[in-house]
Amino acid sequence: MVLKIEETSRSSRHEVKLLNWLDGKLPVPAIIEAETQYGYSFLLMSKMPGDMVCTGNSLENMEDTVRALVSGLKMMWQIDITKCPCKNTVAEKLVQAQYFIENNLVDIENFEPETLGPQGFSSIYDLFNYLEQNRPKEDLVFSHGDFSFPNIFVSGRGVTGLIDWGYGGVADRWQDIATCNRALRKKYSKYGLYSEKEYLKYKDLFFGELGLEPDEEKVRYFNLLDELF
């Protein structure tokens, strides 16, 4: 079992709603007990099988891992969103982002180096205005909301577990694509786990398995939007 403890928030409430709704639809933890007390959320869940994507075994077999990531995305996109209890559209995220900015909850120290500064935006307000004025046309699907390596468990070419559902729900298809592609790039650029040539190979494999051409504008938009969370 795993016990998750965090301050009670919109995302902690969403996670409980989505885990209940996703039972039988996706490989997600089963809720054993969920309580809130003194401003904190306590969520006791079953443990997921398989290897976390950010661990050694998965990183040593990246071609299988990339195919597993794609299978996870396609699995989520097959879910009927008509009765999904949570939304995470661009409009919803911008409302949350504005709240975070106004209440000094944005961690600027965690931004990518190019986001702010001479080659980027002058401030988080400048970034927010850009995001407001350049909202993309959305292709809505069921989305994890943070489809990054620590939240995905795999075995071979299949996904065995998906955790951390605080920002899941109805959202643009490219929300999760952008996050996953950024994770692939970070393993090259930030952690040096493989070469640039290998990263480009994995990127080509990723989009090839998805059957999509990279939409660089949407990838950049959703990566910038996620800076505020």
Q: At what angle do helices 173-189 and 216-226 cross, to 10 degrees?
A: 80
Report residue 68 as tokens: 């597993």
Q: How far apart are CA 97 and CA 190, in angstroms?
A: 26
Angle, CA of 144, 142 and 30, to the nearest 5°: 55
Q: How far apart are CA 171 and CA 192, in angstroms?
A: 31
Count of Cβ atoms closer than 10 Å to residue 15 Cβ: 28
Q: How far apart are CA 30 and CA 223, in angstroms?
A: 30
What's CA 45's distance to the chain center, in Å? 20
| Residues annotated as catalytic (active site), given as ranges | 146
Find, among 63, 54, 61, the residue nearest to 205 by Cα: 63
213: left (phi over 0), alpha (psi -120 to 50) or beta: beta
Q: At what angle do helices 173-189 and 62-77 cross, to 10 degrees?
A: 160
Q: How far apart are CA 166 and CA 6, in angstroms?
A: 11
Measured over all CA atoms, what is the biggest interatomic distance in the chain, rounded to whole angstroms?
Answer: 51
